[in-house]
Amino acid sequence: MKKIIVTGSNGQLGRAIRSLCSSADYELINTDFGVQGLVDLDITDLDSVIGFCREVKPYAVINCAAHTNVDACEVQVDAAHKINAIGPRNLAIATAETGAKLVHISTDYVFSGEGTRPYTEFDPPAPKAMYGITKLAGENFVRQFSEHFFIIRTAWLYGDGKNFVKTMLRLADSHDNISVVNDQVGSPTSANELAKAVLSLVPTENYGLFHGTCEGQCSWADFAKAIFAAAGKNTVVTPVTSEQYKEMNPASADRPHFSVLENYMFRLTGGYGFADWEKALAEYMPDLM
């Protein structure tokens, strides 16, 4: 049976992959750092990564591990570089040595967020936040050292774990009115949909860079309204600008104003077709009710 190492498997995407992946197809080796019940693997330690890959001899490695706290990355610069850049580098080196495929998850934050149309895989990156800077560095290391790789950029992810959907529902329990940014636009993406896309690529040789988000776009405020409507909540959403939000939360890092990704490479290569974001949200909500 082919073995797949999943790093960061306690995160939203890692949990979705664990839920969807049939044991009849692959044997998952679920790893994380310091999480009880999972294989302990520090991807920032090159020797540990190489040794583990030599021992397991995986068919593929799916890297879901990342320092995703955008605000924290601005102050925890070394940690962000180690996890988001050095970690992928180490996995790329190890998979190249053992002949394994590498699936690396990246982000919309590699772009400036100042565009006016959906970004394709052929648009030049220009990250502004440290999160995006370090994630782009990770992408570049994967390209440099891996021989058989898939890089998938995603955005606005939600699934089994801490996310915007759950935050909005929690706030709705104690607030009649919630202020939500309305001048940042993206594509809410179900971890379940992204996991399906990841697993569709693994057995192929369709290598390269992909964008992977649910279809369609909305603002965070529109997303919040859709969440409350699906949950039957009467909570009122008050749209605010990014500047107004920054005044209320001065420690927050700047977010992209426009981070819609077009799944252009999936479409060009006949790959996975993502569900519309509203349909994916409707499928996700019953799990929370």
As a CATH number, domain 2-163+187-217+259-276 is 3.40.50.720
Listed by start position, the domains of the chain span 2-163+187-217+259-276
pLDDT at residue 251, rounded to an integer? 72
Is the pLDDT assigned to residue 254 strictly greater than 90? no
Is the pLDDT assigned to residue 175 strictly greater than 90? yes
Is the pLDDT assigned to residue 273 strictly greater than 90? yes
Asked if residue 263 lies in contact with residue 211, where contact means CB atoms within 8 angstroms, the answer is: yes
Q: What pLDDT digit, counting tens, does each position of 58-88 carry? A: 999 999 999 999 999 999 999 999 999 999 9
Is the pLDDT assigned to residue 5 strictly greater than 70? yes
pLDDT at residue 23, rounded to an integer? 67
The pair of structure tokens assigned to 162 is 């801490």
Q: Where are the extended beta strands (E) located within 136-182?
A: 149-154, 157-158, 177-181
CA distance 16 to 29: 14
| DSSP secondary structure, 79-119, as one string | HHHIIIIIHHHHHHHHHHHHT-EEEEEEEGGGS-SB-SSPB
Q: What is the mean pLDDT of the chain?
A: 96
**Bridge partner residues of 151 (DSSP):** 104, 209
Q: What pLDDT digit, counting tens, does each position of 200-227 carry? A: 999 999 999 999 999 999 999 999 999 9
Helix, strand, coil percent values for the chain (each to nearest 5)? 45, 20, 35
The pair of structure tokens assigned to 198 is 């990841």
Is the pLDDT assigned to residue 287 strictly greater than 90? no
Q: Where are the extended beta strands (E) located within the chain?
A: 2-7, 26-32, 39-40, 60-63, 101-107, 149-154, 157-158, 177-181, 185-186, 189-190, 208-211, 218-219, 236-240
Give the helix/strand (H/E) hosting 249. Answer: none
Q: Catalytic one among 26, 59, 131, 284?
A: 131
pLDDT at residue 201, rounded to an integer? 97
Phi, psi of 83 (to 5 degrees): -80, -45
CA distance 197 to 266: 9
Q: Verify whether residue 272 is a known catalytic residue.
A: no
Phi, psi of 28 (to 5 degrees): -85, 130
